[in-house]
Every structure is written in structure tokens, then in C-alpha cells.
Homo-oligomer: A and B are copies of this chain.
């Protein structure tokens, strides 16, 4: 069976926390069920009780919340190797929805198994919490991004972030195309789809990105970084 997903997760955890051989062995020994989900499938809905902790093998997923009058805000994006819901270990109900962005493959691990790892393996426990803390840090940067940067800069910043986060497990956005529609970008950035389109056009005029068909690709990472004044400190990628 394909274990690439768990390897990616180990890679992610190792990027910020020191794990020993027996820690890694314990992760390898995890029992899980692999499933493939179509783009748009719900993995978890707001208010659901916590039962599983899915790990993302391939594809992208996201968390979102919805306003009473229908406004949707994406509050986190998850990438291959990410554990999708460590927090279920700690609270009874989900405070947001978790949904597949592209077609994805996930491994569902029973929450009790993760809890056992948390109790029995201090290094893993720490790695899990570091993971939660880093996601929170990314959330804070998003608050700054949405609250205090204009559309143009905001998009540039997001593209930088996705690039650097993908780089942690090997690839970056320079190589791949962005797996987000403009409507999803809009929900992610607190903008309207139309305005996202305008800003993307402006970024292309500046030579920072290329658009071909329905896909976006980074062309000049340096330009993008300087537009966004991007620093990757908040990703804590070399912290321990």
C-alpha cells in the first residue's frame, strides 16, 4: 500500500520538531484507512463531533466558515503531508468545515490512536502541538493580510506563502500551477471574484505571474516577494 502520505507527514513534522527512530516507527505502525475524495467533498462539518484525524496524502483541502447571510471565508489551506485535524483531539466539536479543494487522497486514523501517540510519545506530542501552533501563526498572518493589505498585495502575499509552504515538502509553486479557482481565491482573501481577476491581471502586467488558460503560475518570485513584502518567519520552518 502507498505510504507516501505518511512519509510526507513525517517530513512535515521533522521540519519543525526532532523525532527519534522509535517515534517514526510508531507513526509507521499507525493503522489507517485510505480513501479518495472528489473535489468539494466535505470531510468535517461545523458542529460535528470529533472522531477521526485525517492525514492528507495528495491534493489540497481547506477549512471554511460561513456567515449567516451566506458569506464564505476560507480560514486555512492544507497541503500534501498535512494532518487535517489534530485539534479534534482537544475539543468536542468542530468549529468550522473541512472540505476537499481538489481531488484528494486521505488516510483516516482513529482519534484514539492519535491520542495514544500523544500520551505515549512525548516527542510526537510536542510535534503535534508545534503543528497546531504553526497553523495558528499562519492564521495570524492571514489576519494581517486581510485586515491591512489591499487586494493586489494580498494576492501576492498568498502566492508567496503557498510557494514556501510547498517548498517544505520538496516542490514549490514555481513548478506547479495554482490549484485554486478565482472564486476560491476570493473566499480565501476576503475579496470578490471579480476583484481577484482584476488583481491577477495587474500582477501579470507587472511580470510577477503568468496566466495560461485557467491556471496561474509564478514567474518572478522576487517581484512577488517585494510586492508582498514577504518574510517567511511566521512559517517557523526552521524552529524547534
Which residues of A pack against B, CB within 8 Å?
16, 46-47, 63, 65-69, 71-73, 75-76, 87, 90-93, 95-96, 119, 122, 125-126, 129-130, 132-137, 139-144, 146-149, 189-190, 229, 233-234, 236, 239-240
Contacts and interface: CB of A to CB of B under 8 A. Distances in A.
A92 B239 contact: yes
Contacts of A130: 90-91
A96 B136 CA distance: 12
Contact of A95 (B96, B148, B234): B234
B136 A132 contact: yes
A105 to B, nearest CB: 25
A136 B87 contact: yes
A155 B76 CA distance: 23
A80 to B, nearest CB: 22
